[in-house]
Amino acid sequence: MSFINEIKNAYQQATIVEKIIYINVFLFLITALFTTFMVQWFALPSNLNAFLLKPWTLISYAFIHERLFHVLSNLLVLYYIGNLFLDFYTKKQFLNFYFLGIIVGGISFLLTYYLSNKTGDPLGGASAAVSTIFVAIATKIPRYALRLRFIGSVELWVLAAIWVVLSILQLATNNNASAIAHLSGALFGYIYAKQLGAGNDIGKWFENIVSYFSNLFKSKTTKTNLKTVYKSKTRTNPDEVSKTKQRKIDDILDKISKSGYESLSKEEKDFLFRAGKK
Summarised one tens digit per residue, pLDDT across range 37-92 is 999 999 999 999 999 999 999 999 999 999 999 999 999 999 999 999 999 999 99
**8 or 163, which is more confident?**
163
Cα separation, 83 vs 76, whole angstroms = 11
Largest CA distance in the chain: 71
Identify each DSSP E strand in 114-161 by its residue range: 145-148, 152-155
215: Cα separation from own chain's centroid = 22
**What is the predicted pLDDT for the residue at 227?**
47
pTM check: above 0.95: no
What's the confidence (pLDDT) of residue 36? 95
What is the pLDDT, as a whole number, of residue 222? 42
Ordered by start, the domain boundaries in the chain are: 2-213
Return the CATH architecture of domain 2-213: Up-down Bundle (1.20)
The pLDDT of residue 173 is: 83
Kindly state the average pLDDT of the residues 5-17. 85
Whether residue 29 is predicted with pLDDT greater than 90 in this model: the reply is: yes
Give me the chain's average pLDDT, please: 86
Distances (CA, A) of 228 to 122, 203, 233, 234: 59, 40, 13, 16
- Residue 94 in this model has a pLDDT that exceeds 90: yes
Give, in order, the Cα–Cα distances in Å from 120 to each of 47, 114, 129: 8, 11, 21
Residue 100: the pLDDT is 97
